[in-house]
Amino acid sequence: MLSTHVYTPTEYQKIGVIYRASEVTVGTPTLLFESDGFAFPRPPFALPITVDGHTFELIGVHLKAGTTSDDTERRRQAIVALDQHLRTQISGGGEDEVVLLGDYNQQIVDPDGRAVLAPLLDAPDQYTVRTEPKAAAGDVSYLGFGGKFIDHITTTAALAPSFEGAHVEVQRLDQELGIYQNEISDHLPVVLVVPKHP
């Protein structure tokens, strides 16, 4: 399922969700922050997901790329807006089990990156940034510029019981397929493995 957003008049980038229809049911998608092109050049793509009778919300993001101070500020504003959106949604009785994932375009291991992601990192009662341990261990999710970890998965506190024992894996497809970076993607799949609980 793909976002309906058109990135520019002549080209577009799509946020999408690939799922196995025999195991997963999806609801009606929503584009968030469509009018805020500064913080969100590509609107976040929110989608209800049901697996084994358990429904949660998935929000896919592709935040502003680039290394300028303007790019960083746009990402910072996006994270602030997403945090406020989730807090308002949860406190208002809306879906509290949320997975926020995608290309944050932001490292987590340096002070500037941690400042941008502070609303998520500094609220352990609200969120778990599941990719933080992998990034801290020196793993990479993006192959350009010598390798960086900029693709992240964050879950809300309400998912903690269901996701107990979950861990992140980075699939090193670049080491398995010589054509991977040049012909498929300069990003690696970042996977949250969630054990099935009885």
DSSP string across the chain: -B----SSSS-----B----TTTEEE---EE--TT-TTT-SS--EEEEEEETTEEEEEEEEEPPP-SSHHHHHHHHHHHHHHHHHHHHHHHTTS---EEEEEE----SSSHHHHHHTHHHHT-TTTEEETTHHHHHTT--SB-GGG-B--EEEEEEGGGTTTTTT-EEEE--HHHH-TTIIIII-SB--EEEE-PPP-
Is the residue at 106 inside a domain? yes
Is the residue at 115 inside a domain? yes
The answer to whether residue 9 scores a pLDDT higher than 90 is no
Is the residue at 7 inside a domain? no
The average pLDDT across 67-91 equals 97
Is the residue at 3 inside a domain? no
Q: What is the pLDDT of residues 154-186, one digit of tens each?
A: 999 999 999 999 999 999 999 999 999 999 999
Cβ density class 57-80: b for 16+ within 10 Å, e for less: bbbbbbbbeeeeeeebebbbbbbe
pLDDT category, 6, cuts 50, 70, 90?
confident
The residue segments making up the domain with residue 172 are 24-193
pTM for the whole thing?
Answer: 0.95
To the nearest 10°, the Cα dihedral for 45, 50, 56, 61? -20
Q: What is the pLDDT of residues 48-68, one digit of tens each?
A: 999 989 999 999 999 999 999
Position 15 scores a pLDDT of 93
CB-CB contact of 72 with 116 (8 Å): yes
C-alpha pair distances (Å), 57 with each of 25, 27, 155: 12, 9, 10
Is the residue at 37 inside a domain? yes
Is the residue at 14 inside a domain? no
Q: Identify the CATH number of the domain in which residue 124 sits.
A: 3.60.10.10
Position 198 scores a pLDDT of 65
Is the residue at 8 inside a domain? no
Is the residue at 12 inside a domain? no
pLDDT category, 4, cuts 50, 70, 90?
confident
The answer to whether residue 27 scores a pLDDT higher than 80 is yes
Position 196 scores a pLDDT of 83
Structure tokens, 12: 């577009």
Domain count, the chain: 1
The answer to whether residue 28 scores a pLDDT higher than 90 is yes
Q: What is the pLDDT of residues 85-121, one digit of tens each?
A: 999 999 999 999 999 999 999 999 999 999 999 999 9
